[in-house]
Structure formats: C-alpha cells, structure tokens
Amino acid sequence: MNNALQRIKKKIAEGSLIQAKKECEKLLLEEPSNLSARETLGLILQHQGDLKAAEKLFKELVTAAPEFINAHIALATIYSEQGNTEASNKCLQNASRIKVSTIKESAKKHSTQKSITEPSEQLPLLPRGQPFNFKADRFSIWGQEIAFMTDPLFINSWNKVITKTSPHINDSAVYKIFWRAHIAVSIISQIQRKDLVIAECGVHLGHLMQTIMHYFKDKKNIELHLFDTFRGIPLEQIEKNESLAHWHNKNNYKGDYYKTTKNFFKEFKEVKFHKGKIPDTLAKFNNSHVDFVSIDMNIVAPEKAALEFFWPKIRFGGAVLIDDYGFQKHTTQQIMYDDFFSRHGIIPMQLPTGQAVVFKN
C-alpha cells in the first residue's frame, strides 16, 4: 500500500470521509489504474450512503478487473443493503469461484502450509469442499472446510456489519473476529425458541450483536439489551493486575461512541441501550428471564456482577458466551469464571477463539 493510500485509510478510520474521498479522487487522477484506490473510493461512497454511486464504481471495477475479488464482495454487500438477495448471492458465488483459482495458484507457490487466504475487510463466500487456511485473531487454521463460510446469509450479515463499522475501528484485529461472530450465531440457532431475550455486557461497536440481528431478522423475534459505558472501561474498576484494560482505553475505546453504536442498530425495533457502569445499570433489566448473555468487559469486577445477575435468569437451553476466557493476560477473569461455574458442577467449554461457552441445561 502506497503512502497516499495509507493516509486515506487513516482519514477513514478517523471518520473524515469527505477529506478521504477528496484525497482518493486526487490519487485516482494520478493513478487511474490503482485498483486499491478505486476499491477504497467505493467503500467511502458506501459508508456515506451513496449506494448507487458505489454500485456503479464497483460494477466498473468488476468489468475492468474480473479477478479482483473484493469488488465482487463489495457489490454483494451493496445489493444486500438494497434488499436484492438474488443479485447479492450471485456476486458472492462469483467471488467464491475466483477464490478457488486464487487458492490453487497460491498453493503451487508454497511448499508448506501457510496462510494463503487472508480476507481483508470483506469475507468471501467459499464453495463446499474448499479447504480454508487462515491466520486469525490469535489462532490459526489450515486444511479445514468451514461450513459457515459457505452460508450466504452469514457472509452477507458479517460484511454488512464490517462495512458500517470500518471507519470507527481502531484495532485491525477486529476484522478477524468473524469466527467469534459465527460462534454467537450458532449458539442462538441452537436455542429452540422463536422469541428470545438477549443481553450483551460490553458492546463497543456491537459487531457480534449486529451480526445476530441481521442473521435472524426473518427467523426469530429478538429483544436485545445492550449494556456499556460507551466511554471505555471505568478506571475505578480496574485492578492492578489488569493493566491491559488501560491499553484498551487508550487504543480502542476513544471518546464517547454511544451515538455511533446506537445508529448501527437503528433498523432494529427491539433494542434497548443501558448506558453506564455495571453493576449500576443491571437494575434497568426488568425481564424475569434471558436466553443468551454475551460478556466482554475485559476486567473481573463488572463481569462477575453481570454473571451473578444473569445466570439465575437464564432459561433452560440458554447460554453464556464469555469473550476473554482463554486470552493471555485475562487469567483473573478465567479464575473467576471457573470458581463460579465449579459451584454448579460445570466446566466452561473453551474455544480456540479465546471464548468459552456455557449452556444451561
């Protein structure tokens, strides 16, 4: 990536879309064949809500460079936002065929197993039977056939979310947490009720919950409760051995992102925001039951309070999804969860994603 494009990407991350667009257009005057710059301009237009202009640009890009997979995937996302599922799926199928040839060509160049497929901001749809190699967020996979990546609904849901949140993402690792989103979607699918009450404690930009809401939009009736300070981790709750929380506050949770996150959920009716510290905000949850709880607050104090509050309310067949259970430097959280669940004769199911899941049976 050249320096000009790096500056443009930085402007996008800062939310300066108008300036980023101007600089991108200037770059394309100098380098009209720069595919990455054309793709970036299309994504800017998409972020600005100018779907017709973005669609036109990506169509031109597909015609000029049929093997440029990101253009096909971007078009699929645009068509999905427009409600054109048939066109969206067709674009994803075109992208999957390109990916197969790309993988085969790359495989010939590597004598050992390497991460030869690395999605950038958009996730490709894979055909059945196609192995996938990927260096993910603190874990790697190779030679596996990934069923959820053959699901157009999941791919569309995730890409729609990542397209909206991209200008506000400060940590590039977020683009690789799609597997965590799959875990959440899979759990919801296994709860055999059509009407669900869901709570998330620690929301930030809401990647997992947005994916769930898009995926089950026409399948389940979900009442969603979102708990967060929307200003980062409260300093008074951070213990001395939880120094990573200060890193998150400095690098990920900048400013007040309440309005930004709330805007991401505006198309969904049954979403309730509970802004403030846990345990203070838990009293706002008036339901007698809950079916699924996601906990991701990076430190022990609020997570323990949320667990003790919600566990008795979880209905039979429901579940708790713990985000930081297995990650390095989150040992005190793991110990807290192990102590709590051992009293119920339960061992949390640890996953390579760093998460752990506990079903209430």
Task: Specify the CATH number for the domain of residue 36.
Answer: 1.25.40.10
- Indicate if 344 and 238 belong to the same structural domain: yes
Report residue 112's pLDDT band, with 50, 70 and 90 as the boundaries. Answer: very low
Q: Is residue 187 part of a domain?
A: yes
Q: Report the C-alpha gap between 177 and 173 in whole angstroms.
A: 7
- Indicate if 85 and 215 belong to the same structural domain: no
- Indicate if 37 and 185 belong to the same structural domain: no
- Indicate if 199 and 304 belong to the same structural domain: yes
- Indicate if 183 and 275 belong to the same structural domain: yes
- Indicate if 26 and 104 belong to the same structural domain: yes
Q: Is residue 162 part of a domain?
A: no
Contact yes or no for 84/125 (Cβ under 8 A): no
Closest CA to 208 of 130, 322, 317: 322
- Indicate if 108 and 182 belong to the same structural domain: no
- Indicate if 226 and 326 belong to the same structural domain: yes
- Indicate if 266 and 185 belong to the same structural domain: yes
Domain that holds residue 58: 3-115
Report residue 120's pLDDT band, with 50, 70 and 90 as the boundaries. Answer: low
Q: Report the share of the chain in percent with pLDDT over 90.
A: 56
- Indicate if 186 and 331 belong to the same structural domain: yes
Q: Is residue 33 part of a domain?
A: yes
Q: Report the share of the chain in percent with pLDDT over 70.
A: 91
**Secondary structure E strands in 243-286:** 271-275
Q: 14-18, 101-105, 177-181, 330-334: lowest mean pLDDT where? A: 101-105
Contact yes or no for 252/207 (Cβ under 8 A): no
Q: Is 329 helix (H, G, I), strand (E, B) or coil?
A: coil
Q: Is residue 164 part of a domain?
A: no
pLDDT at 268 over 80: yes
Output the pTM of the full model.
0.75
Q: Is residue 335 part of a domain?
A: yes
- Indicate if 201 and 340 belong to the same structural domain: yes
**Which amino acid, 300?**
V
Q: For the chain, what is the domain count?
A: 2
Span 265-275, average pLDDT: 96
Q: Is residue 354 part of a domain?
A: yes
Helix (H) or strand (E) holding 294: strand 290-295
Whole-number pLDDT of residue 121: 65
C-alpha distances (whole Å) from 210 to each of 21, 25, 71, 182, 224 are: 27, 31, 23, 12, 10
- Indicate if 214 and 353 belong to the same structural domain: yes
Which of 115, 141, 159 delimits the end of a domain?
115
pLDDT tens digits for range 139-176: 888 888 899 988 989 998 998 998 889 888 888 888 88
Q: Is residue 149 part of a domain?
A: no
pLDDT at 238 over 70: yes
Which of 73, 97, 115 delimits the end of a domain?
115
How is the beta sheet containing 221-228 ordered, strand by strand? 271-275, 221-228, 195-201, 290-295, 314-322, 356-359, 349-350
Span 279-305, average pLDDT: 98
pLDDT at 113 over 60: no
Q: Is residue 163 part of a domain?
A: no
Which of 64, 93, 115 delimits the end of a domain?
115
* Domain harbouring 343, CATH code: 3.40.50.150
Whole-number pLDDT of residue 108: 42
